[in-house]
Structure 1
Amino acid sequence: MHARNGVVVDIEAGVVLDRDGGVLRIGLDRPHRRNALDAAAVRRIIGALEDAATDDTLRVILIESRSPDFCSGADWVASNTAGGARPRPGSVQRRTALQAHRLIGLITEVQLPVVCAVRGHAVGLGFQLALAADFTVAAETSRFWEPFLTRGFSPDSGATWLLPRLVGIARAKELLLLGRRLSGAEAAEWGLVYRAVPDAELDKAAAELVGTLGQAATVAVGLTKRLVNRGLELGLTEAMQDEASALELASRTADFREGLAAFKERRPPEFGGR
């Protein structure tokens, strides 16, 4: 771990963690594997997200690539050659729950906004990272692909849960069963990502979005994220009960008081994230 231009940088397992003020940047940097994530890289990101969940100084998380592709999925080559022998039967079931599935779950659970900036290929687990994020900005020429059935196995990392909720069953089957590949522009048209931008504008667009979220009322943002995600599985009565509990918490924050003061004084609020 070291500081670069005042930014704390921590590099390990092909994952770069940059801490700059209230922003945690998780950079995928395994260009020799097109940013495929092996077990060590997944554990690294999981650890960063778990730490972020209890860090009161953080306000937003950005997941990005430090190389031409966003993420080409789970590194099955590494998983199946570790130790020189194939894993014993049942190991995929055990490992997936603690690795890829834990990773996707954390992105949806952490009460901080998560932004993904996608360039190049987002495949399999990489596709699901983009789907699970709260906001994904994609380069127009980026490529999204679910390769599972074309390689002879069934989907994981939340693909069968996330896709139908975002684009409906028919299009989810088109992506999963027929292996339809989408450009970033098409993914935005389908509603799979927040927006698509010209490739040269990706970093700027992601930075602007991170800046906006980083200045928001962080507690209220986190509570709202949780309400929306949980609300998919609840009835109206239960969802409104959750809303009442969240509102009780949000109304006790300094940002709530600042929001009221700014409204009365007819000025933009200056939220501190508390």
Structure 2
Amino acid sequence: MVDMPPEPGVALDRDGCVLRIGLDRPQRRNALDTGAVRRIIDALEEASTDDTLRVVLIETRGPHFCSGADWVSSNTAGAARPRPGSVQRRTALQAHRLIQLVSEIQLPVVCAVRGYAAGLGFQLALAADFTVAAEDSTFWEPFLARGFSPDSGATWMLPRLVGVARAKELLLLGRRLSGAEAAAWGLIYQAVSDADLDKAAATLVETLGQAATVAVGLTKRLVNRGLELGLTEAMQDEAFALELASRTADFKEGLLAFKERRQPDFSGR
């Protein structure tokens, strides 16, 4: 393992083909301040052009995954008040940019959740390609309970994942879901015991790290874009993606492995 320079609140580690992003601010339940959000954004942007990376893992370095954006620290008594319009200007470049990157990066993103995943933490788990959570973890949208409206894609992702009625239950009534319930609702990939969480995430990361990375990234993009397209446009996108995937070394290896009746050994190229 090659360690990246330590960053307050975020631990960035390079583990072979895996970028590990550890949320590491336990005294604030891993609430993300603007500096932490920027560091994760920078790491994901660099990862998107790093041909040696094949998977991103977002995990906690404490008992809680993420309690959301750190609004408390930025609104303490005596803090300088930003000029009007600051929230809508900055959110687009911070929390919203983070969710876009997790959703759009052409690498599979895995989240391992224990403890609280609230607000921005909840949306990180929703935007990831695969979220594995402890059965007793807690997913919560605390926005209205704090007197403000949701952000970071909550009102876009939740209705698409669980329908309007359940989205309103989570957003308007503040219903808290356990990890087991979140999995049963189809919000996340899997719920396991807390003791098995790290192993389950590691198994998933290993599987994705051995996959045909280019084809995985293209398929992720097709699925996400396809939600907004008609059938004809979606199939046109599939044709372009197939053209790219069929020119990779992994495509050739996949065909050869099929011919030789063995498991493919993909290189990610």
Q: So what's the TM-score if we normalise by structure 2?
A: 0.98
| Aligned mates of 1:260, 1:83 — CA distance in 2 | 65
Q: Tell me if the contact between 1:80 and 1:87 (Cα under 8 Å) persists in the aligned partners.
A: no
> What secondary structure, in the 3-state scheme, does the structure 2 residue paired with 1:11 have?
coil
Q: Which residue is 1:3 aligned to? A: none
Instruction: Tell me the amino acid that sits aligned with residue 81 of structure 2.
Output: R
Deviates more, 1:71-80 or 1:264-273: 71-80
Deviation at 1:7, TM superposition (A): 2.9
Match of 1:256 among 243, 248, 251: 251
Q: Tell me if the contact between 1:39 and 1:79 (Cα under 8 Å) persists in the aligned partners.
A: no
| Aligned mates of 2:219, 2:140 — CA distance in 1 | 30
Q: Which residue is 1:243 aligned to? A: 238
After superposition, the C-alpha distances for 1:17-51 in whole angstroms (9 at most, x for unaligned) are 01011000000000111100000000000000000
Match of 1:125 among 102, 120, 126: 120
Structure 2: state its 5+ residue gaps.
none
| Aligned mates of 1:11, 1:66 — CA distance in 2 | 13
Match of 1:137 among 127, 132, 138: 132
- Give the 4+ runs in structure 1 shifted more than 6 A: none
> What secondary structure, in the 3-state scheme, does the structure 2 residue paired with 1:67 have?
coil
| Aligned mates of 1:53, 1:147 — CA distance in 2 | 31
Instruction: Tell me the amino acid that sits aligned with residue 25 of structure 2.
Output: R
Q: Which residue is 1:186 aligned to? A: 181
User: Is 1:214 aligned to residue 209 of structure 2?
Assistant: yes
| Aligned mates of 2:8, 2:48 — CA distance in 1 | 21
| Aligned mates of 1:109, 1:9 — CA distance in 2 | 23
After superposition, the C-alpha distances for 1:194-230 in whole angstroms (9 at most, x for unaligned) are 0000010000000000000000000000000000000
Q: Which residue is 2:90 aligned to? A: 95
Deviation at 1:113, TM superposition (A): 0.1
Q: Which residue is 2:2 aligned to? A: 7
User: Is 1:32 aligned to residue 27 of structure 2?
Assistant: yes
Q: Which residue is 1:148 aligned to? A: 143
Q: What's the RMSD between the two structures over aligned residues?
A: 1.0
Q: So what's the TM-score if we normalise by structure 1?
A: 0.97
Match of 1:55 among 43, 50, 58: 50
Deviation at 1:11, TM superposition (A): 1.6
Q: Which residue is 2:64 aligned to? A: 69
Instruction: Tell me the amino acid that sits aligned with residue 146 of structure 1.
Output: E
Q: Percent identity?
A: 84
> What secondary structure, in the 3-state scheme, does the structure 2 residue paired with 1:16 have?
strand
| Aligned mates of 2:78, 2:189 — CA distance in 1 | 41
Match of 1:172 among 161, 167, 171: 167
Q: Tell me if the contact between 1:101 and 1:157 (Cα under 8 Å) persists in the aligned partners.
A: yes
| Aligned mates of 1:140, 1:10 — CA distance in 2 | 33
Instruction: Tell me the amino acid that sits aligned with residue 239 of structure 1.
Output: A
Q: Which residue is 1:199 aligned to? A: 194
Instruction: Tell me the amino acid that sits aligned with residue 44 of structure 2.
Output: L
Instruction: Tell me the amino acid that sits aligned with residue 49 of structure 1.
Output: L
| Aligned mates of 1:79, 1:232 — CA distance in 2 | 36
| Aligned mates of 1:237, 1:13 — CA distance in 2 | 47
Instruction: Tell me the amino acid that sits aligned with residue 126 of structure 2.
Output: L
Match of 1:46 among 29, 41, 45: 41
Relative distance call for 1:73 and 1:269 in structure 2 (3 A) is same
> What secondary structure, in the 3-state scheme, does the structure 1 residue paired with 2:198 have?
helix
